[in-house]
Each structure stands twice: as C-alpha cells, then as structure tokens.
C-alpha cells in the first residue's frame, strides 16, 4: 500500500481538504509532529512520498525551532531519492530551503483569497496542466521563498511573486489550498488575537471571502493533490 509521510509543524495545520484525495485513493498516511518533539523517521525508506504542511514559524528559525533544519535535511534526502514532495506554506519554505533557496521575511502579511496566475511552465505541468490559469487561493503568510536553483516557477502573484515551484517531483505552494471553512474555524481561536491586533479588517471579510472562493479552491486542491498522488503511485510502481 502507498504510504505518505506527513510533517505537521503547527496545531490545526493538518491536511484539510488534501485528506479527501488521500482517503479516496486509499493511501495510508503517517503524521509526525516535530513541534511536539516527535522524531522524524530514521530514513524515508518506508514512505513513497512526503507532505510538509503550514505553520506560523519562520522556516530558518533554527534557534527556536531546530526541527525545521532537520525537516529540511530530511526533505533533501527524499528529493534526492526521487520521491514526490508536496510543501504547503511553511512546508513550501522548508522545501525551498532544502533545495538551496533563501527564505526571508517579506515585511508584510498576505492574507485572504488572492488571485494567483499560472506561468508558461504550468501549462505542461503534471499537477497544473488544464486547470484555469487564474485561481483565487487562500494566503496567510509573512515570509516568502526564493525559487530554488533549477526549479520552474508555476504560479505567481501580483504582490508576492513566488507562489509555486517544481523541481523534479518536488512541489512547493505558498498558498493554503488545503483550507476550508471547517479548517478556518479550527484556526480561529489561535489566529484571532493576531487578526484583532493587526488585521481586524479580515474579521469582517472572511465569511464573504470563503463564500466567493471556497468552492473553486477545493476543486483546485482536489485536482492538485490527486494528481500529486498519481505521481507518487506511478513512481512506486516503476521502482517496484
């Protein structure tokens, strides 16, 4: 059976809508919480793919979160073994770091469903080919990544240009395409103080934002995560 390792770095930042595709495909997942001092596996030998999820941490804050460096080293090994990786928000930043790119603070917070545009490279990409060239996807980040050397830019945004990349079978998406209203409600107790202090406008807007864009965002997530799983399953079949 196909086995996916999931690294969850933050409370509530779980697979969300991504889990729908995984459950439909009947794959098995193992979730490890490095932030809870759960150890990473000694190797990736037992896993066919790696998913790294979001969180509020800065991806290079090894002093406060030393497990992020360990996750980057682990992801680098998975990449070198040719196994597919899917990084979401913080996970995409850890992946960019693993592949030799700089992660840095952008000095502002990108929040809410934001228009992202597919690049020319996305037209023939296994995950994005045939999807609408413009997508409104959820953003909640104040850090960003440079594109790793040799990687293709897949999606870009007006204010934050680096939104998605691929290198080999490793994919990083800055956006939270796994979000749903249900998941947002789970985040709210933790994020409300920050919203009230710095982004009070979104407290009045988020319901309309989700009503306008959640359906299409879920469709995007289902397409991307199921196609990523296809890569995982095909790679496992060829390896076998």
pLDDT in tens, 165-215: 999 999 999 999 999 999 999 999 999 999 999 999 999 999 999 999 999
Domain count, the chain: 1
Exactly one of 60, 110, 139, 178 is catalytic; name it.
178
- pLDDT band of residue 11 (cuts 50, 70, 90) is very high
Residue 238's pLDDT band (cuts 50, 70, 90): confident
> Sign of the C-alpha dihedral, residues 197, 68, 116, 224?
negative
Based on the residue annotation, tell me whether 65 is a catalytic residue of this protein: no
Nearest to 170 by CA among 125, 221, 138: 125
Q: Which among 125, 171, 169 is positioned nearest to 147, based on CA atoms? A: 171
Q: pLDDT above 70 covers what percent of the chain?
A: 100
User: Cα–Cα distances in Å, from 177 out to 18, 30, 163, 221?
Assistant: 8, 21, 12, 6
The answer to whether 62 and 206 have CB atoms below 8 angstroms apart is no
What would the pLDDT profile of 108-130 be if each residue is shown by its tens digit? 999 999 999 999 999 999 999 99
Q: CA 123 to CA 126: how far, in whole Å? A: 9
Ordered DSSP codes for 165-205: EEETTEEEESS-TT--HHHHHHHHHHHHHHHHHH-HHHHHH
In CATH, what number is assigned to the domain containing residue 175?
A: 3.40.50.880
Question: Of 13, 60, 89, 213, which residue is the catalytic one?
Answer: 89
User: How many of the other CB atoms lie within 10 Å of CB of 136?
Assistant: 19
CA–CA separation, 192 and 196 (whole Å)? 6
Q: Is 158 a catalytic residue?
A: no
Domain hosting 7: range is 3-239
pTM score, whole prediction: 0.97
- pLDDT digits over 137-168, tens only? 999 999 999 999 999 999 999 999 999 999 99
Catalytic, out of 176, 213, 214, 221 = 176
Q: Are 109 and 56 in contact (CB under 8 A)?
A: no
Active site residue 178: yes
* pLDDT surpassing 80 at residue 240: no
């Amino acid at each position: 059976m196909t086995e996916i390792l999931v690294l969850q770095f933050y409370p509530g930042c779980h697979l969300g809508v991504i889990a729908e595709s995984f459950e439909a495909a009947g794959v098995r997942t193992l979730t490890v919480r490095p932030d809870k001092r759960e150890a990473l596996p000694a190797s990736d030998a037992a896993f066919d793919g790696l998913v790294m999820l979001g969180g509020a941490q800065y991806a290079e804050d090894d002093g406060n979160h030393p497990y992020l460096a360990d996750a980057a080293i682990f992801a680098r090994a998975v990449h070198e073994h040719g196994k597919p990786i899917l990084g979401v928000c913080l996970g995409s930043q850890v992946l960019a770091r693993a592949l030799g790119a700089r992660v840095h603070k952008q000095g502002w917070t990108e929040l809410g469903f934001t228009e992202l545009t597919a690049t020319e490279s996305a037209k023939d990409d296994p995950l994005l080919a045939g999807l609408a060239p413009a997508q409104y996807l959820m953003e909640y980040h104040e850090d960003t990544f440079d594109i790793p050397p040799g990687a293709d830019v897949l999606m870009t945004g007006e204010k934050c240009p680096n939104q998605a990349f691929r290198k080999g079978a490793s994919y990083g998406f800055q956006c939270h395409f796994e979000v749903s209203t249900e998941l947002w409600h789970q985040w709210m107790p933790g994020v409300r103080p920050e919203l009230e202090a710095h982004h009070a406008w979104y407290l009045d807007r988020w319901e309309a934002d989700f009503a306008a864009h959640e359906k299409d965002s879920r469709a995007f997530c289902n397409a991307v995560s199921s196609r990523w799983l296809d890569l995982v399953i095909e790679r496992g079949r060829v390896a076998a």
